A and B are shown apart, each in its own frame.
Chain A
Amino acid sequence: MIVKEWCMYCGECAGVCPRCLIEVRETSLNFNEEGCKDCRICVQVCPVKALAKEE
């Protein structure tokens, strides 16, 4: 997952990830990429489009 520089670590993406894979730290995000099912729900809800999936 690509996290853009303007991510504000609000945690909305973590709240909707059905597999609970996103750890929101104070100034960074950790993705457990191994478990990711590529559903892109996290990308969809971000209020500022700060996530992109690596193609």
Chain B
Amino acid sequence: MKLIETEILVIGAGPAGSSTAKHAALNGAEVILMDKKSEIGAPKRCAEGVSKEGLSKLGIEPNSRWVTKELSGVRLISPNGTDVWMKEDQVKLPEAGYILERKVFDKFMAMEAARAGATIMIKTLARGMRKDNNGYIVSCESMGEDLEIKAKIVVGADGPESRVGRWGGLKTAAKPKNMESGIQFEMVGVEMDDPDCIEFYFGSVAPGGYAWIFPKGDDIANVGLGIISTYTDKTAYEHLLEFVKNCPATKNAQPVELNIGGDPVGGMIKNLVKDHIMIVGDAAGHVNPLTGGGIITALEAGMYAGEVAAAAVKDEDYSEKRLMEYQEKCKNEIGNSFDKYLKTKDYMLSLSDSDLDSIAKAFQNTEFENISTKELIKLLIKVSPKALLKLGKLF
């Protein structure tokens, strides 16, 4: 059987894998980036929203090839239709952002990895791995051919499936209560009150999660929701059909695409490294437990993973102890805030539809200055005594 050797093998070419591969290659390592798909980025499993702040923090310049829409506000809608508008011309919205075209964005990120020096293998599936004296040998299948790749460090960037980490002994399986089932139509003929604003719908419309309408320009939008299967007897698809039928903005809209996917919202996995192995992105729980957003954190964690992996190669030290630098960085920069968001999510899930309606009413009568996820939670604490009790000490 064909055997290929490399210093670093990154399994999965989503944002996490491409970022890892790019930064490892930029730091001088020999890198292979592989994905089982025939087209990186497709099919999309995402509502495609990112914050401007997040991209700019990572030094990624917005590009007209993958930005479909620049947003200028947010509309929050409670179960009885009470809505709260937050627009950039009235309040500061540091997290306002863009709607991407993930099919182009993900490919663009993989191209950046290739330009940095990584070798890309598409349509290559990792099937398992075994320990070798100084690394792992990963069994793969590429276009009907079995092959093996021997690497000093294997990076599991394999998304919500997260099997690579488990092959290496890390505990990455998500509990059903921590796996949001996401489903979405891309629709045409969507009639939004303001097509420059993203919309979030809360309450029993999406048990355990929320519904969204993210505009993509003209009358096109991603219309979707995330649910937690332990909170409902219906499937995510059934909830989506109901939402689309009842929401005034989508009553006359038509779907042109159906997207589904799991979103691990249980917070960051405790152990991200072992000897010769690292996990990153969705595979590592790098998803904001409150919003379900994981693109920016996947890119950010990928940057840390790539840098640490390349440094470990230089030091010829692939031990868990050496790779812990990555885990510590993730904990400080990502994990600690996720712990707070996890608690906020638990509190939000304890609210009834009428609680949410009262909070929305109280928000309507409040003056905003600066709105971010954190500021919104602070506001929630102000208007809800129950929230003060549960979250007051955290924010």
**A interface vs B, CB < 8 Å?**
8, 10-12, 14-18, 20, 23-26, 41, 44-49
Question: Could you tell me if B182 and A47 are in contact, using CB atoms closer than 8 angstroms?
Answer: yes
User: With A10-B261, A15-B264 in contact, is A45–B237 under 8 Å at CB?
Assistant: no
Tell me, in angstroms, the Cα distance from A19 to B236 when the chains sit together: 24
B293 to chain A, nearest CB (A): 17
Question: Could you tell me if A8 and B161 are in contact, using CB atoms closer than 8 angstroms?
Answer: no
A-B contact pairs, 25 of them (CB 8 A): A8-B260, A10-B261, A11-B160, A12-B179, A12-B260, A12-B261, A14-B163, A15-B161, A16-B173, A17-B173, A20-B173, A23-B127, A23-B163, A26-B125, A44-B176, A44-B230, A45-B179, A45-B229, A47-B182, A47-B183, A47-B235, A47-B237, A48-B236, A48-B260, A49-B237
Question: Could you tell me if B38 and A26 are in contact, using CB atoms closer than 8 angstroms?
Answer: yes
Question: Could you tell me if A49 and B235 are in contact, using CB atoms closer than 8 angstroms?
Answer: yes
Question: Could you tell me if A16 and B237 are in contact, using CB atoms closer than 8 angstroms?
Answer: no
A-B pairs with the 6 shortest C-beta distances? A12-B262, A47-B236, A11-B161, A47-B181, A15-B160, A14-B161
User: With A47-B181, A47-B236, A49-B237 in contact, is A18–B173 under 8 Å at CB?
Assistant: yes
Question: Could you tell me if A44 and B262 are in contact, using CB atoms closer than 8 angstroms?
Answer: no
In the complex, the number of residue pairs spanning A and B with C-beta atoms less than 8 Å apart equals 77
Chain A residue nearest to B36 (CB atoms) is A26
Tell me which residues across on chain A come within 8 A of B264, comparing CB atoms: 15
Chain A residue nearest to B160 (CB atoms) is A15
Question: Could you tell me if B237 and A24 are in contact, using CB atoms closer than 8 angstroms?
Answer: no
Chain A residue nearest to B175 (CB atoms) is A16
Task: Report if B166 contacts A (CB, 8 A).
Answer: yes
Q: Which of B170-195 contact A (CB under 8 A)?
A: 173-176, 179, 181-183
Tell me, in angstroms, the Cα distance from A10 to B43 when the chains sit together: 9
Q: Which of B29-47 contact A (CB under 8 A)?
A: 36-38, 43, 45
B201 to chain A, nearest CB (A): 18
Tell me which residues across on chain B come within 8 A of A46, comparing CB atoms: 181, 235
Tell me, in angstroms, the Cα distance from A46 to B167 when the chains sit together: 23
Question: Could you tell me if B176 and A8 are in contact, using CB atoms closer than 8 angstroms?
Answer: no
Tell me which residues across on chain A come within 8 A of B237, comparing CB atoms: 47-49
Partner of B176 from A11, A23, A45 at Cβ < 8 Å: A45
B365 to chain A, nearest CB (A): 37
Question: Could you tell me if A47 and B260 are in contact, using CB atoms closer than 8 angstroms?
Answer: yes
Task: Report if B159 contacts A (CB, 8 A).
Answer: yes
Tell me which residues across on chain A come within 8 A of B123, comparing CB atoms: 26
